[in-house]
Chain A
Amino acid sequence: MIDSNLNVLIGLAMGLNLLALGTSRLPALIRAMSVQGVILGVMPLLMEHQLDWRVLLVAVATICGKGLLIPGLLRRAMRTVQIDRELEPLIGFVPSLLLGAAGTIAALALTHLLPLLPEHAGSLLVPGALATVLTGFILLIGRTKAISQVCGYLILENGIYLFGLLLIKAMPLLVEAGVLLDLTVGVFILGIIVDRIQRAFDSLDTRKLTALHE
């Protein structure tokens, strides 16, 4: 029962992946990412049979961080630089959607080949994680605006978080604290970089960074 609820949530997160890949509007991308963050935050509560205060803490921290704080920061950055569209992606929206779909199917197929524990065999956790990581990579590779790349990075982190959930019984706090800390630092740094790129190049197009190589 709990497992099927979990699978529904993971399926929802995988759908949000495709939404993130298919949209050209940055607010929609950020919303998809934040909703995914909230869904991810709820998952630990479903996985544990009795509520431990540590699991609760992890869930609350994830929902606040991924669902509210980081999207809020990104929205603010978006407003400051006055950009709300990804106009010239390196990989078009339809191709990236197709890639994401192919990646999701491949992840589902590949999971059978992996040597998983028996209790994880039926769950969508591993394919979901793989598909989310792949989505993050596609966004990182295919988008040129720094904010979309930050979103790609955060979705990548969500995928890693999903993997981390496999270990939540073994070392709950350690995994989560690590992931959250990593994420926060990453966002802060990227936030600063976004600001700097905007000031230096009058644009958020990361392709202009090639002027800096060597």
Chain B
Amino acid sequence: MSGQLLVAAIISLGLAVVAGVWWPRVWLGLTLAGAVAALGAAVGVFATGAEWEWKSAILLGGDAVHMRLDGLSALFVVLTAVVGAAGAVYAREYWSDARYPASAPRGRAWWSGLVASMLLVVSVSNGLHFLMAWEAFAICGYFLITLDPKRPAVRAAGWLYLAASHAGTVCLFGFFALLAAKTGGWELGPRRDDAALAPLFWLALAGFGVKAGIFPLHIWLPAAHANAPSHVSAILSGVALKMGVYGIVRFSGWLPVPAAAGWVVTGLGAATALLGIAFALAQSDYKRLLAYCSVENIGIILLGLGGALLARTHGDAAWGRLALAGAMLHVWNHGAFKALLFFGAGSVLHATGTREMSRLGGLWREMPWTAGVFALGAVAVAGLPPLNGFVSEWLIYLGLFDAVAGKQAPAWAAMPAVILLALAGALALATFVKAGSMMFLGAARTKPAALAHECGGWMRGPMLALAGICLALGLAPIVVWPALASAAGAWHPAWAGAKLEAPLATLGWVQLGLAGLIGAAATLLWRKVRTNHLGRGPTWDCGYAAPTARMQYTSGSFAGLAAGWFSWILRPMRTLRRPRGYFPAAAIRLERVPDVMLEQLILPVGVRVMQVSSAVRRLQHGRLSAYILYVVAGLAALGLLVLLESMP
């Protein structure tokens, strides 16, 4: 049953690619139907606990089509279907035919293509077909990022994405080719006992790590997420990055891993989480901020996975299962709240036309719905109870705490990991306090912000749905336990079984109680405000006779202190002109935080390579005599080599 539903979903999405160009309504129907079918397939796998496998006689590229849907794949199928459907509805207003007559049809077709290819990535079980689906997915992503190709920044971001993506794919080609060479076929499947395959893990980590956005491979991510249309940023951040995570989780589960894998993944996860959020804190563009925050969340997922790998290599400790479940739940959670936040960001961008936080302010009056869901997403992403971000991070914490308490070798990785995770969580809170307050609180800093308008129903609906998911996952985490248990079982058979982890059961009640308390307090406050008829004054009135909106904190000043701790890696570029004299005129303080890895490491190296290449290119000038001279020189060098070798 699950299998038929999944195939139906992929066919429906394939038809939607065609329909998207001409019939928007049919496209929406087909995409939603595809998403529902995919969701049904995944739920079927979770409910029955049975793995669906289908090996057909159809040959593609000389190999039989082989599909497989187990607990782990189903987890990612759910994520893809939910965000794919929400984004499709959202795009109807956000990237409408009326506003973008040229690119809207194209956007619809690529959207369905992206969702379909991602479903294929997680369900095919053949290395060759995996690469095909992976490539299709990367290319759909490229065309979605560059939906608005007139802006140079968009084109640059698209190229960077494509280049980084292919650099990762090169590693994957190596990985699958070596795997096929060692196993004698492109078929994928569990081969946990073949120790010779362990070193391939590093290739997979590098290849999938580029897509996942592991620090320092994240270079493509901020530009692509910031410049893509917001519904595309949402699916890129919420789902596309998770395809990289899927790859790492899938192949670390099916194949043996080197002994150091757990340590490396934990270390990478901690570094990614901390540095990702440090960069996010220092951004002044809210979409770039969200992009860096995605890097942080990938780090959290990797921390959980690293814990699970450590546990698996150190005697199957039970805490590994907890950490893995936390990581897998975080995959869902991040997909939900980051898509929500990007939708909210898209709504703000739609209303004001700027991505600069210091040009906004006071939007909650004009855009209460957007402000509300953004605040909810911010609470979730900061990992505060009673929302979903807290649940998954709590599970990872518990796993790592148990590892520390176990007093074995993994404790040495778990202890610093816990500390760094806590630090990252605190910084995430600071980041989203800053983002929320800059955008929605205070007074409008510029005219576009004052003239903002709330988004319409097609954009609000998906946001509310995702907010509902965040709330539901936070309040009733027990409901999703079977899914997490089945994913953990698919990853490591020794951890199979539906036994509910005790902390999760208690956590559900605590979250419910907390939510009840918050709800009661909010109602009480609301009543009090209503009955006392509190008057409203200007937000910024601290003794100034004529305050202006520009006297408010800017995003740079808000984050200045915390960003200062990380100036060793952030390397902000500052322009400063102090006020001088008794009657100072203009003073300027500009700060820009570039992506250090890209602008100070990759780009200079790229420039050097180009210089050397163009110098070498001078050898190719079209003079025949010189070409013959090269041949003679080459021959002479070879002869000399032979002579030298033959000499005693």
Residues on A lying within 8 angstroms of B by beta carbon are 90, 110, 113, 115, 137, 140-144, 149, 206-207, 209-214
Contacts and interface: CB of A to CB of B under 8 A. Distances in A.
A126 to B, nearest CB: 13
Interface in B603-638: 620-626, 628-629, 632
B625 A142 contact: yes
A206 B632 contact: no
Interface residues on B, range: 10 to 19
A144 B643 contact: no
B247 to A, nearest CB: 41
B646 interface: yes
24 contacts: A90-B625, A113-B647, A115-B646, A137-B628, A137-B632, A140-B625, A140-B628, A141-B628, A141-B629, A141-B632, A142-B625, A143-B625, A149-B624, A149-B625, A206-B624, A206-B625, A209-B623, A209-B624, A210-B621, A210-B622, A210-B623, A211-B622, A212-B622, A213-B622
Contacts of A142: 625
Which of A140, A141, A149, A210 counts the most chain B CB atoms within 10 A? A141
A140 B623 CA distance: 11
Contacts of B629: 141
Contact of A144 (B625, B628, B646): B625
Interface of B: 620-626, 628-629, 632, 643, 646-647
A140 B632 CA distance: 10
Contacts of A143: 625
A54 to B, nearest CB: 32
A209 B624 CA distance: 8
Given A137-B632, A141-B629, A207 B643 contact: no
Contacts of B628: 137, 140-141
B323 to A, nearest CB: 58
5 smallest beta-carbon distances between A and B, as pairs? A213-B622, A210-B622, A140-B628, A141-B625, A141-B629
Nearest to A138: B632
Contacts of A213: 620-622
A75 B109 CA distance: 68
Contacts of B624: 149, 206, 209
A87 to B, nearest CB: 16
Nearest to A134: B632
Given A141-B629, A210-B623, 6 more contacts: A110-B643, A137-B632, A140-B628, A206-B624, A210-B621, A212-B622
A115 B632 CA distance: 22
A214 B629 CA distance: 20
B646 A113 contact: yes
Contacts of B622: 209-214
A165 B620 CA distance: 36
Contacts of B647: 113
B288 to A, nearest CB: 41
B125 to A, nearest CB: 47
Nearest to B630: A141
B15 to A, nearest CB: 46
B643 to A, nearest CB: 6
Contacts of B646: 113, 115
Nearest to A206: B624
